[in-house]
Amino acid sequence: MGLFNKIKQAFSGQKNETETKTEEKYDKGLAKSRQTFGQRLNALFANFRSVDEEFFDNLEEALIGADVGYEMAVKISDELRDEVKLRNAKSQQEVTQTIIEKLVDIYEAEGADEKNSLNFAEKGPTVILFVGVNGVGKTTTVGKLAHQYQQEGKKVVLAAADTFRAGAIEQLEVWGKRADVPVVTGKAKSDPAAVVYDAVQKVKQEQDDVLLVDTAGRLQNKVNLMNELEKIKRVIHREIPEAPHEVLLVLDATTGQNALIQAKQFKETTDVTGIVLTKLDGTAKGGIVLAIRSELKVPVKLVGLGEQIDDLQAFDPNEFVYGLFKDLVQPDAAKTDD
């Protein structure tokens, strides 16, 4: 189903229990972004008279302000110029509808070949490596995902490979107790790769299902950090040739374009397979998801929509678009056919 059709269907109320719960989490988690995005468009139309160059300049500013990103904002604006002319859209409602549909179309096209779900090993343990700077919610994400997998009946092990940050090992051990899963640790400032090696041996010997590896976010400099991550990956790959099955870059949505800069830096030096976007409920600039997809060509695979242990969700593009745009869609327009 197309993403805009998802928004249309939302007005029909035809959802099962799982869909309803997921929608509620996205609805609540994207409340700030949705309100701000709506306010920006409403402000844009406050003095609306005609769809002229000034209108499109203001639209670009509104999109950039929502963290859609400069390149994406210009692309949307350029394509909208053609679309508005093609449809001969003149009224505020017609133009609003065109903007939303074009945003959805571009979003869908950018991720046409993406796989949003996590990769799992066909046989043996799945190893997922978490990378990212300090303070983005990396350890919390590891803990929440461990809880989810444990609840699903999987045998999960955590590796505390962030041996440099004070309290990092203890923080992961707290999450291990909370999720009721074992944590492999080493001494503070010990070799992170050695901790990972011990963890890999454990999951192989005990036939565990999933190994989640928490890593450092800062060493003496960026080169040292990236070298350390590569060393960890080599250790994993040597013991389990097809691993790591995912290298997830954790980004804090509240930092906006700084998150995008971090993502570009990590992508330049390590093989990132997916993005975890945390604290999405704490930002009014949910457009960062569009910027990441457009500029990085790396799929968002998990999103943090709240502080509760079950608020880490698999990224659902349909629910994201619905959660971001639903207040801007006119119910009567949404019920009409394409």
**One-character DSSP codes across 42-74:** HHHHHT-----HHHHHHHHHHHHHTT--HHHHH
On whether 134 is known to bind a ligand per the annotation, the reply is yes
Strands of the sheet with 274-278, listed across from one edge = 183-184, 156-161, 210-215, 126-131, 246-252, 274-278, 300-304, 312-314
Alpha-carbon gap, residue 247 to 298, rounded angstroms: 11
Q: Are residues 76 and 175 in the same domain?
A: no
On whether 137 is known to bind a ligand per the annotation, the reply is yes
Q: Are residues 80 and 170 in the same domain?
A: no
Alpha-carbon gap, residue 169 to 156, rounded angstroms: 17
Q: Are residues 130 and 69 in the same domain?
A: no
- Structure confidence by residue, pLDDT tens digits, 105-132: 776 776 667 778 899 999 999 999 999 9
On whether 138 is known to bind a ligand per the annotation, the reply is yes
On whether 278 is known to bind a ligand per the annotation, the reply is yes
pTM above 0.75, yes or no: yes
Q: Are residues 108 and 164 in the same domain?
A: no
Whether 86 maps to a domain, the answer reads yes
Domain count, the chain: 2
On whether 218 is known to bind a ligand per the annotation, the reply is yes
On whether 259 is known to bind a ligand per the annotation, the reply is no
- Structure confidence by residue, pLDDT tens digits, 187-204: 888 899 999 999 999 999
- Expressed as residue numbers, the domain containing 33 is 18-114
On whether 215 is known to bind a ligand per the annotation, the reply is yes
Phi–psi pair at 27, nearest 5 degrees = -60, -50
Whether 63 maps to a domain, the answer reads yes
Instruction: Give the pLDDT score at 111.
Output: 65
Buried b (16+ CB within 10 A) or exposed e, 161-197: bbbbbeebbebbbebbeebebbbbbbeeeebbbbbbb
Whether 329 maps to a domain, the answer reads no
- What does the H/E/C string look like for 246-307? EEEEEEEHHHCHHHHHHHHHHHHHCCCCEEEEECHHHCCCCCHHHHHHHHHCCCEEEEECCC
On whether 214 is known to bind a ligand per the annotation, the reply is yes
Whether 224 maps to a domain, the answer reads yes
Instruction: Give the pLDDT score at 338.
Output: 43
Pairing status of strand 183-184 against strand 156-161? parallel
Whether 333 maps to a domain, the answer reads no
On whether 65 is known to bind a ligand per the annotation, the reply is no
217 CB-near residues (< 8 Å, 6+ apart): 131, 132, 133, 134, 135, 136, 138, 162, 165, 225
Q: Are residues 142 and 73 in the same domain?
A: no
On whether 184 is known to bind a ligand per the annotation, the reply is no
- Structure confidence by residue, pLDDT tens digits, 291-337: 887 778 888 899 998 888 888 999 887 788 777 777 766 555 444 44
Q: Which of 114, 148, 168 is the last residue of a domain?
A: 114
Q: Are residues 63 and 206 in the same domain?
A: no
Type and span of the H or E element at 214: strand 210-215
Share the mean pLDDT of the chain.
83
On whether 270 is known to bind a ligand per the annotation, the reply is no
